[in-house]
Amino acid sequence: MDQKELKKKFVSLHGDAKISPHGYFSPGRVNLIGEHIDYNGGFVLPCALTLGTYLFASKTTDNFIHLSSLNFDYSAKIHLSDITKKQGDEWVNYPIGVVNEFIKKGMPITGMRFLFAGNIPDGAGLSSSASIEMGTAFAVNDLFDSRIDIIELVKMAQKAENNFVGVKCGIMDQFIVGTGKKDHALFLNCDDLTYDHIPIHLESYKIVISNTNKKRELADSKYNERYNECRKALDIVNQHRRVGHLCSLTLDDFSKIQNSFPDHTLYKRARHAITENQRVKEGARALKNGELKTFGILMNQSHDSLRDDYEVTGVHLDTLVEEARKIPGVLGARMTGAGFGGCSINLVHKESIELFCEKVGHSYKKKTGIKADFYVVDIGNGVKRLS
């Protein structure tokens, strides 16, 4: 996106040529492997993208938060005294929730103007929400010189989504947006927040994201449903062995108590969390050793578990993945994100990308009636101030 044009748009929106806003960039993310286990205390392996959210912001003295976007028609002007009120289901709840967290900390916040503009495909499951949240958190921290460290900003952004927006997400999305590193994946322990940046050497392969273009109507409600199912599964586990999270169990631990589940659905949810956690650990080792074929196999296993045990894929994602696996040069394919639409992620040889997009796109359109979109993406850095 043209930063100069965005700055001009900001000035024209607020009608004051004397305004000199600061610019920020906050990336989207894709999770290479480790889905639906961040809130189960597991390991995840996401990376930040060069797609993301641009944000221009400035302070005001009127105690109003002005929020506009080039991606959505809805805009808002909210007095700080009304900052605890949700604005229906509008996108502005993400930045409002973050500002709320600064106020809860007792930070001396005044009015602000924001203009957001993103190139993350809407509803694709590449975490535009965390991108907006972390962009807002970073900008507010910078504008008011609050000197809050990046990990605390990550926690504040997660709280905004959990407590204000009402989605019981784990911390993965905000964490990778805050701490991403170019050409690296983040190997994050969601239990204690220890992490390591793992270099990714794709050599002759590229990450290709396939977008179902199916609106994700169920994503938030089903996300919360799965979250609650995992809490119930953990209660059953704790009748036999006290653990803090499902992912604290090893596969051997789980095998000893698997017959104790009175509900097969809860058993499957727990099995996904525990096996997926193991796949992430193996995947991190594979990437460190440059074993891309092994990583591709783990990607395939991850999707199959999300389809069969966690039941968050659906016909659209399953079709993209099934068709992708038929293409020569594809090492692995799986859904990424919350599911029920959104995107799949694929590890594709450079020479197969054109064939991949043509064949998978044709088969998907024939089966679903929807045109898929494809993005060849690069791994970028975390949230930052623009020069």
Q: Which residues are part of the catalytic machinery?
A: 173
Question: For residue 245, what are its two tokens?
Answer: 């999270």
Q: In terms of DSSP H, where are the helices of the chain?
A: 3-14, 93-104, 128-143, 150-159, 172-179, 219-237, 251-257, 264-288, 292-308, 315-324, 353-368
Decide if 44 contacts 273 (C-beta within 8 A): no
Judged by phi (left if over 0) then psi (alpha if -120 to 50, else beta), residue 277 lies in: alpha
DSSP H/E element including 48: strand 46-59
Identify the CA nearest to 335 among candidates 367, 310, 354. Answer: 310
Q: H helices then E strands: how many in the chain?
A: 11, 13
d(CA 14, CA 22): 14
How far apart are the C-alpha atoms of 95 and 100, rounded to whole Å? 9
Listed in sequence order, the residues at least 6 apart from 253 whose beta carbon sits closer than 8 Å to its beta carbon are 241
DSSP lists the bridge partners of residue 118 as 53
3 state SS of 161: helix
243: exposed, middle or buried (C-beta count within 10 Å: 0-12, 13-18, 19+)? middle
Query: How far apart, in whole angstroms, are the C-alpha atoms of residue 152 and residue 296?
Result: 34
- Rounded to 5 degrees, φ, ψ at 189 are -90, 110
Please answer whether residues 169 and 223 qualify as being in contact, where contact means their C-beta atoms are separated by less than 8 angstroms: yes
Number of Cβ within 10 Å of residue 180's Cβ equals: 27
Tokens 């796949």 belong to residue: 279
